[in-house]
Chain A
């Protein structure tokens, strides 16, 4: 009996189906669409590519440490939002795109304009280290967060160390006998 009532109600009141492509889906405020990025803000820190669980977003070196592109492959992206959370400069954000239809597979790959990574090279061994803007970002953060009395000294050391690749940096640190305790 109860079910009969339900059936009659469904007859008089239309079901939940909507005219999908004509009527856009209503998205919740916290909807996580596939991420998009703001080229200008990206500092090529590679954080997003190292946390992405599926390898959907990565920084690709297209000419031996001279130019790189940041790529998001939507066929792999699971919209988990991890890259958006981790990005230090808020360069990534979720779109509100819910219909990922395209006629060609290449359309599923979003890549940034090729950026000349102004790679800093190691002053000792000429290995590319990282992008200038990344170093600048770290320096800015340091000067913001460090207490007044150690700031200048720390920044000076930072300058010295940041122009070396990790291997040479370790060598220099050993030579100088620097240990983290020195800064505590």
Chain B
């Protein structure tokens, strides 16, 4: 099939890419007939680095895996450590974690809506989405002291108390956003530009979405009820009157709409959360003692299921860390859907899954002479691996 087709290499470093990845498209005329994506250009070795730092230092390292969904990483890491240690954070800390996670989800979804609008050439929507995103960033800044990378989540709870005054002023910014979000949704639904660029691109039904391995909002856009918050509640979402948002068409446009709806629902959850936090008090952390064991945690990051696994041998350092980010799954799924598209639709298709390439990067060992892949080795074996 790919024999007679022309190869269109994009990347690894390309002005259109924010992060380095190598996309190879086989095209016949305007049609894509084959696609392959190659990662490894941005591998930062974070998992290995984590094994050399103490449990507490790793929280900040985990946060820096991703610039956009850093709270999800911190929560996932801390939940894994808490399971390893057999502790559970106090209720108030759990509520604060929900608040931070949901605010982050709003910001991440708005960011993506803006990006895809930009890819589709609809710059006004891009500006608008990013403008209203400032309100949620203001709220996060009020609560944590910084726009991103809050450093709030810690092992056994939350590291800093949040004064009621700050919560109240965050609530005011969120109420402004509550007026803007429905507007955004109706602009998206009415916009012919966006619809004509995104409707029907990489449409997948429920079964296919499950089969190719979509997670997060991409799976939910196809009507697949796949949400860790519902399946394995790691935080008390049930108290906050929360339900997963489901779409039905499963195309690129629906993925954006599901994200906008989810942002609105997260906003609702965050407001309920603030109300509860204002009315109750309690401790923020629990005491703990390090011990040997292993912990695994799944968390619903804005992009889907995020998994942390770690093992420890009663030292101050974890002995083994494994991270699986949602983009790993989403990206391998979308690559299967690319054949059949027009070349111009490829950016939209890839953009619509909200890829975060660097977070999911893996390492491959290549031969320096022939550039042939010598081994795809698990990181655990990397220390002892010899060429």
Contacts and interface: CB of A to CB of B under 8 A. Distances in A.
B134 interface: yes
B60 A78 contact: yes
Interface in A6-36: 6-7, 15-16, 28-32
B228 to A, nearest CB: 27
A52 to B, nearest CB: 8
Interface string B141-164: 111111001010000000110110
Interface string A40-61: 0000000000011110000000
B56 A29 contact: no
A80 interface: yes
Given A2-B183, A2-B187, A32-B146, A82 B128 contact: no
B190 interface: yes
A2 B146 contact: no
Contact of B124 (A3, A29, A85): A3
Contacts of B149: 78, 80
B145 A28 contact: yes
A65 interface: no
A6 B180 CA distance: 10
Nearest to B186: A2
B131 interface: yes
Interface string B43-73: 0000000000110111111001000000000
Interface in B167-199: 183, 186-187, 190-191
A133 interface: no
Interface in B60-102: 60-61, 64
Contacts of B183: 2, 6
B134 A82 contact: no
Max chain A Cβ within 10 angstroms of own Cβ: one of B60, B125, B159, B186: B60
Given A2-B183, A2-B190, A79 B146 contact: yes
Interface in B111-142: 124-125, 128, 131, 134, 141-142
A100 interface: no
A54 B58 CA distance: 10
A108 B190 CA distance: 51
Given A1-B190, A16-B134, A30-B166, A80 B145 contact: no
Interface residues of B, number: 33
B128 A6 contact: yes
Nearest to A86: B56
Contacts of A1: 190
A7 to B, nearest CB: 6
A128 interface: no
A30 B143 CA distance: 8
A3 B187 contact: yes
A30 B125 contact: no
A3 B144 contact: no
Contacts of B187: 2-3, 6
A9 B159 CA distance: 41
A16 B128 CA distance: 12
A169 B125 CA distance: 69
A3 B145 contact: no
A53 B77 CA distance: 15
Contact of A53 (B57, B143, B191): B57
Contact of A85 (B59, B64, B128, B159): B159
Given A79-B151, A80-B151, A85-B159, 7 more contacts: A3-B191, A29-B163, A31-B145, A53-B58, A53-B59, A53-B60, A82-B60
A-B pairs with lowest CB-CB distance, top 4: A30-B145, A53-B57, A53-B60, A80-B151
20 contacts: A2-B183, A2-B186, A3-B124, A3-B125, A6-B124, A28-B141, A29-B145, A29-B163, A30-B160, A30-B162, A30-B166, A31-B145, A31-B146, A53-B53, A53-B57, A78-B64, A78-B149, A80-B151, A81-B159, A81-B160
